[in-house]
Each structure stands twice: as structure tokens, then as C-alpha cells.
Chain A
């Protein structure tokens, strides 16, 4: 990891630089994960909005079944998030699960990873339950309604797409090694002396060159 670098040396020797001390930060990933649960509360898309959307888009007579499915998702979220985090956290967890599974049919590797990244280790059965319930809901939708749903999630992601510098043309080009001449073979530029393994002769020739 510690490649020898000029700026590395300057950082450690120079007194005009704030000493960057990265020790004791090795557990920052753990800290980050535990904080993420709290941040999940700040999703713009709330569980309430999802319920509204879903109920608005299906027949009244299916409402009972849908409500059951929504409860299943919430229950799964409670098990994954942890009940001790309160109703808000559980609901935002439910939003998260619904968002992950609304275009999926089963719990794949990516989904497992995303949930784990967000909430840490979790019971797989809860994820499966959430996925199944989400599928039961979305299976009632028409193509158009599904497209609306996908769009609803995209709009929320779109906020970051308006961030600073989105129109700035950025180049990934970086300084590389310059092209340079090849290493001269045996240290002699462009010469093709026959190579001999006769050491005595080599040494005599060598001496002769110097004396001559």
C-alpha cells in the first residue's frame, strides 16, 4: 500500500501540513454501516407514499390481500432492521426492501449484498419473505403501472443527478510514463559485439581497451 511518493514524504516531514493520522480509523467501515441505519430515515420516499401509490393503483376488492402483503414487508423489515430501532427506522427499511425487490423475482447476490451493506447481517428468510410479498404486489400491476412505479423510484434518485458539475466535461486521462528508448543491450548503444564466454580473453580485451 505504501508506495514511495513525494507527497507522502512531504506529508510526514512538513510542518505546514495538518498531520493526517489515519490510525484508529480502521473500523470506519463498521461505523459507517451502523450510521447508515440512522440515515435510512432520511429517504425522501416514505413508506406512506408507497402505500398510497399501491392502493391507488389496484382494485378495491384486492385491498385486503395487498394490505397483508404490505404488512409482510413491514414485518420482514422489522426483523432485518431490528425492532429496537423504532417504527420510523422499520418503515424506511421497508421502503428500502420494496425498492430493491420491485423489479426482481428472487433474492439474488446483488440484493443480498445491498441489504447486508445497509443493515449488516440479517436472516435470509426475512429477505425472501419481503421479496415474495413485493412480487405479489407488483404482479397485480399492469405494464403501465409498473412503469409508473419504476419512474417514482427514479425521480427520487434523480436528485443527485442535478448535483454540482454534472455538465462539466471531465477527462479520465492521466499522466503516464513517457515513451523512451529501449534499454541498450549489455549497456552498449547499438553495438553487436559477439558475446564470448571466454573470461580470460574478455578480461584481456577489456584491459587492452583501457590501455589503448
Chain B
């Protein structure tokens, strides 16, 4: 007899009240095991024994419970995942608060590190199991129902997917890519969720700008009176500056990690004109923060170097994000399609870069990592009817962006 998918399976159980046998769907709240998952809290910032002990106790509970969960048979596992609210909160709290490697370093005891590693692994395996609709020949869920289960029970949402990428993407990229592709394939609603999230991400950029006292050109709101006092990041307190740079660092790394694992999301980002918004954000915020960090009189120079390092990292990630989007929305389709069908992608490329000509600093940094000339020559090879005027306009804009930089450096290296 062929195995039934879990969502159609009926399992007989004894009614506790009457003692009679009745059948229940395999996925039913009554079949959930009573278990109480505690929330995850990150390791303490300092090695205070009482705090370390509390962390270890909490983490031990979670790791033990997840080991138990992973050892459950297929149907029991899914009942728990769907119907146990404490489990879902526990998983979400880990994604929220688990330390990223690029967070501030904390000296931790070996016991604490071992525990964190154990947790990290069982959290990943749990999400891996949740994102697999076919565990074996006999254990599977109908794909369309699987998609509904994921979405209706909030088993994944966009923030969780971003967290998963930044936490597990480096070491486990192949598996994670399969997981996330499967989630988006079985439940296309996640694309519309992503579409609704992009404006919020852009809002995060605007918030960073306004924290720095910089104005977003695209914002229609008049400047508020109370914010007027802050003219530039120069007026910020050290802690504020640190926060802004940490926030920028986390934001850019998280976005990049997501797009690196799932570049198919690029089109959804680009629907919101993401590239030009990102570039103008970059243009406003990067030079300003750079000059503030350079000028700042830090009491500890190590802190200054650390903040600088984070800003440089964020800078690079923002450029890499841009390149993934350009590659995914323009270059890749040009390479993959026959020459009859590439015109819209060529047009998109030209339009994107034409809209960026003002963003000189951004163009220069982008060109340094991903030479635009190479991409333009790809376009020239692929399309016979390329508008040379427009490509040379773009290339000369990039040339000009570099010129500006050289001129600034000129007094140092130029001949007397």
C-alpha cells in the first residue's frame, strides 16, 4: 500500500473519556505532547558566575528539549511544531538574540562556548526538519498543504529567514539554500511578504540617516523642529555613533547574507527601486561617517579602529548587495537568454546605472570591486543594437567619479 501524506493520515486513538476507539487526523492539537520550551537569552556580556549559570541552565533546557524534538517520529514532530506555541517562541527567540560572530566580542568560558555550539546545531537541525516536506519515502506532506502549514502557523517569516541566513549561511550555505528555495517554492506568499517588507528595510535606511542628522532626499516629510539641532554626525555622542555603525553593520551583513543565499529575491527588492535608494543612502552616510570617525577623539584608539573596521565592512557589504541585484536582475538573464530576448534586461542595466551617475562615491567603490566596464563589454557582445551614447555616458560618469577622488589626493602625490 502506498504511504499516505501526513496531512491525509488518520490515526486511531482511544478516547480517554469513553474508552472507545476513534480516529483523529495525524496532525491534531490533541496529539501534541505537553512540553514547555523556555525562551533563549544570549550569553551574559561579562563572566559573572551567577549570570553564566543562569544562561547555562536555560540553554541546557532548550538543547535537551530540541534533542527530544528531533528524535520524535515524523507525525509527533509536526504536531509539536504546529501546535506548541512555546516551541515556536523558543525558536524565534534564538534567531532574535543569538550572538552573531560580528557582534562585539565577549570573553566566554569553554563551557559556555560548548553550550552555544550545541544549541546552534540543534536549532539549525530543527529548522532544517521544518523546511523539509519529504523526510523519507513514507514520511512526507503534500507540497501545497506543506506551504499552507508553514505560512498559516508563522513557522517562517521574513525576519526569521534573514536571521537564518546570517546565522547559518557561511558554514551551511548549500543546505540553507535548498531550505530557503523550498520554502519560497512551496509557499509563494513569502514573495509578497518580502515585497511588503522592502519598504520597511528602506525605512531602516532613512532612520539611520536621520539618526546621523542627514536628510533623505526621498522623504516627503518636512524636517521636524526637534531634529533640527542635529546637523551632522559630528554632534552625536560616542555611544550614538557606535550604535549607528553597529546597526549599519548588522543591517548590511544581514541583507547581504540573505541575498547571497537567495539571490532570487533580487527582483522583489528592485520593484522598489532598491538599487538607487541604496546608492543614495550610501552616498549620504558613508563619507559622513568616515570623516566623523577619523576626526573623533576617541579615548581608546582600539575603539576607533573597531568602529572604522565595522564601517568598512558595512561599506563593502552594501556594494556587494548592489552587485548581487545587478547581476541577478540584468547580467544573469542576459547571459542565459537568446539575443532576441535580452533587450529588456539591457535596458534595465542602462537605466539603473544612468540613475546612479550622481552618486560618485558609490560608483567609485562599486567600480573598484566590480568594474562596470566589464559588464558594459558583456552588454556590447550580447546586444548588436546597443546604444553607445548611453553606455559612454555611464562610463564617463564613472571616470569622473574617479577623477574626483584623484584630484583630492593630488596635492599629496602630485609633482611640485
B175: Cβ under 8 A from any A Cβ: yes
Closest CB-CB distance, B110 to chain A, in whole Å? 14
From 195 to 250 in chain B, residues with beta carbon under 8 angstroms from any chain A beta carbon are: 196-197, 200-201, 203-204, 207, 243, 246-247, 249-250
Main secondary structure of the interface of A (DSSP, over half): loop
Closest CB-CB distance, B251 to chain A, in whole Å? 4
Choose one: B96, B197, B249, B291; the contact of A14 (CB below 8 Å): B197
Binary per-residue interface labels of chain A (151-179) against chain B in the complex, 1 for a CB within 8 Å, 0 otherwise:
00000000110111100101111111110
Choose one: A3, A6, A191; the contact of B162 (CB below 8 Å): A6
From 155 to 190 in chain B, residues with beta carbon under 8 angstroms from any chain A beta carbon are: 157-160, 162-163, 166-172, 175
Choose one: A11, A15, A162; the contact of B159 (CB below 8 Å): A11
| Interface contact A32-B96, CB-CB below 8 Å | no
CB-defined contacts of B309 to chain A, threshold 8 Å: 177, 180, 183
Binary per-residue interface labels of chain A (168-204) against chain B in the complex, 1 for a CB within 8 Å, 0 otherwise:
1011111111101111101111110000000000000
In the complex the two chains form, what is the Cα distance from A100 to B344 in whole Å? 70
Size band of the interface chain A makes with B: 35 or more
CB-defined contacts of B167 to chain A, threshold 8 Å: 174
| Interface contact A13-B203, CB-CB below 8 Å | yes
CB-defined contacts of B313 to chain A, threshold 8 Å: 177-178, 180
Choose one: B61, B101, B316; the contact of A174 (CB below 8 Å): B101
B39: Cβ under 8 A from any A Cβ: yes
Q: Find the B residue at minimum CB distance from A117.
A: B57
Q: Given that A16-B197, A164-B125 are known contacts, is A7 also in contact with B71, CB under 8 Å in the complex?
A: no
Size band of the interface chain B makes with A: 35 or more
A35: Cβ under 8 A from any B Cβ: yes
Q: Find the A residue at minimum CB distance from B252.
A: A6
CB-defined contacts of B67 to chain A, threshold 8 Å: 160, 163
CB-defined contacts of B169 to chain A, threshold 8 Å: 175
Binary per-residue interface labels of chain B (81-98) against chain A in the complex, 1 for a CB within 8 Å, 0 otherwise:
000000001001101110
A29: Cβ under 8 A from any B Cβ: yes
Q: Given that A7-B162, A175-B102, A180-B313 are known contacts, is A168 also in contact with B255, CB under 8 Å in the complex?
A: no
Q: Find the B residue at minimum CB distance from A186.
A: B294
| Interface contact A11-B96, CB-CB below 8 Å | yes
In the complex the two chains form, what is the Cα distance from A184 to B301 in whole Å? 12
B280: Cβ under 8 A from any A Cβ: no
Q: Given that A6-B255, A32-B36, A180-B316 are known contacts, is A14 also in contact with B128, CB under 8 Å in the complex?
A: no
In the complex the two chains form, what is the Cα distance from A8 to B103 in whole Å? 15
Q: Given that A20-B92, A183-B294, A189-B412 are known contacts, is A28 also in contact with B39, CB under 8 Å in the complex?
A: yes
| Interface contact B102-A17, CB-CB below 8 Å | no
Q: Which among B116-124, B268-276, B348-356, B387-395 touches the partner chain?
A: B116-124
Q: Give the top 10 A-B pairs by smallest Cβ distance, nearest first.
A: A171-B171, A173-B171, A180-B312, A163-B71, A187-B294, A163-B70, A4-B247, A165-B125, A174-B101, A183-B308
Chain A: residues with CB nearer than 8 A to chain B?
1, 3-11, 13-18, 20, 22, 25, 28-29, 31-32, 35, 38-39, 117, 159-160, 162-165, 168, 170-178, 180-184, 186-191, 209
**18 chain-A/chain-B pairs, Cβ below 8 angstroms:** A3-B246, A7-B96, A7-B159, A9-B207, A11-B159, A16-B193, A22-B93, A28-B39, A29-B58, A39-B35, A117-B57, A164-B128, A168-B125, A174-B101, A174-B171, A178-B313, A187-B291, A187-B295
